[in-house]
Amino acid sequence: MPPLVLIDTVLRLLSAGQLLLVALVVARTPVPLRVRAATVALLLCVAAYLADVSPALDLRHTAIWPPVQLASQATPLALWLFAHLIFERRVDLRLLAGAAAVTLLCWMAFLHAHFVTHRQPMGADVAQHLLALLLAGHAMAIAVARRGDDLLERRRAFRTGFVVVVGTQTFGIVLAESWFGYHHTLIGLMIAQSGTTLIAVLGFGAVMLAGNAELLFDPRAAPLPVRAPLSPAEHVLRQKLEAAIAGGVYRAPALTIGRLAEQLGVPEHRLRALINQRLGYRNFSDFLNSHRIADAQLWLGDPAKVDLPVLTIAMDLGYGSLAPFNRAFRDATGQTPTDYRRATIVEAENR
């Protein structure tokens, strides 16, 4: 075995071993099943990719290659699903089903090419790489867009960094494979890939093996306990925040915690700590929704506002469109805004 190939193989095996160890640790944490399963699936898919493309292992001529190949191809999809769950985004089941179908069809095409035609399926190759770019790009876009919502600095940095690093790796791999070919990647690039992957995996493992289950928390868990008493600085900041809330600051469209901190004239990290550790909110969206939905319930139950469209209410409360308002309202009350209005006004009058 050439020395460079040996180095590449060792790096890949070290990374894969670390990924499997972290997957075992995550599987044993009290993290909710959906988040735990998505995390373990992503780690296993990355490990499968590392083994699949290794020239020394040459799994294509073994019985385990088909499932390893499927897991390897599913890495971008696993990253996309992980990003949705970890950043509390609803998964579009139609997109999920479509991406899964494309992944399966491409996998079947690769199997057919390997066992029957012995020719590279160019259509499946292009489709798989294009899907990988789209999924990885969307996952990174979610991480960047949602990076300011989490109120715990360490968890926020970890989540964003992890998704961006894996997404960037995916982009690099897809571009390298598209340029050089799936089976003709230069050994120097392969060592660069396996080396940077090992560094990223060791960093990820160092955090997760320390037992930080809070990094993969349940967004529907009970509120955090509030510590008391407030320090003088926290007391002043809370007064400023309550005054801003009384003035309806939470209704501002596209309000971020950075903009709110700027309006209050305080450092962002202090405002994050107050809302999280003192007021008990896990993320900034929950903080905003708690006030916005309270207003929505008052407006929807007011007979004088019965002709006010739900969309107008949503926009006046700071929501960019009707869908996120409906989702937030249903999560908080168990009803749609329209059903809530009917129950509050019509059914109340009949009682």
Residue spans per domain, the chain: 3-216, 232-350
pLDDT at 218: 47
**pLDDT at 185 (0 to 100):** 58
What's the pLDDT at 74? 96
CA atoms of 163 and 88, how far apart (whole Å): 14
- Tokens representing 209 are 């093996």
- CATH hierarchy code of domain 232-350: 1.10.10.60
Asked if domains 3-216 and 232-350 share a fold, the reply is no
Beta-carbon contacts of residue 283 (< 8 Å; ≥ 6 apart):
88, 149, 150, 151, 219
CATH hierarchy code of domain 3-216? 1.20.1070
Q: How far apart are CA 104 and CA 280, in angstroms?
A: 43
Query: What is the enclosing helix (H) or strand (E) of 332?
Result: helix 322-333
Residue pair 25/204 in contact (Cβ under 8 Å)? The answer is no
**CA atoms of 82 and 38, how far apart (whole Å):** 5
For residues 96 and 81, what is the distance between their CA atoms, to the nearest angstrom? 8
Amino acid type, 67: P
Which amino acid makes up residue 232?
P
pLDDT score of 56: 83
Locate 2 and state its tokens.
């050439």
Predicted local confidence at residue 15, as pLDDT: 92
pLDDT at res. 228: 61
Q: What angle do CA 185, 188, 193 make, to 5 degrees?
A: 80
Could you state, in chain order, the average pLDDT of each consecutive group of 10 residues for the chain (351 residues)? 84 91 84 86 93 85 93 94 87 95 96 89 90 92 82 75 83 74 65 84 75 54 58 91 95 93 93 87 90 95 92 95 93 93 76 55
In a 10 Å sphere around its CB, with 0-12 CB exposed, 13-18 middle and 19+ buried, how is residue 75 labelled?
buried
Q: Are residues 62 and 114 in contact, defined by beta-carbon separation less than 8 angstroms? A: no
pLDDT at site 179: 67
Q: Would you say the C-alpha torsion 80, 81, 82, 87 has a positive or negative sign?
A: positive
Report the pLDDT value the prediction gives residue 212, as an integer from 0 to 100: 54
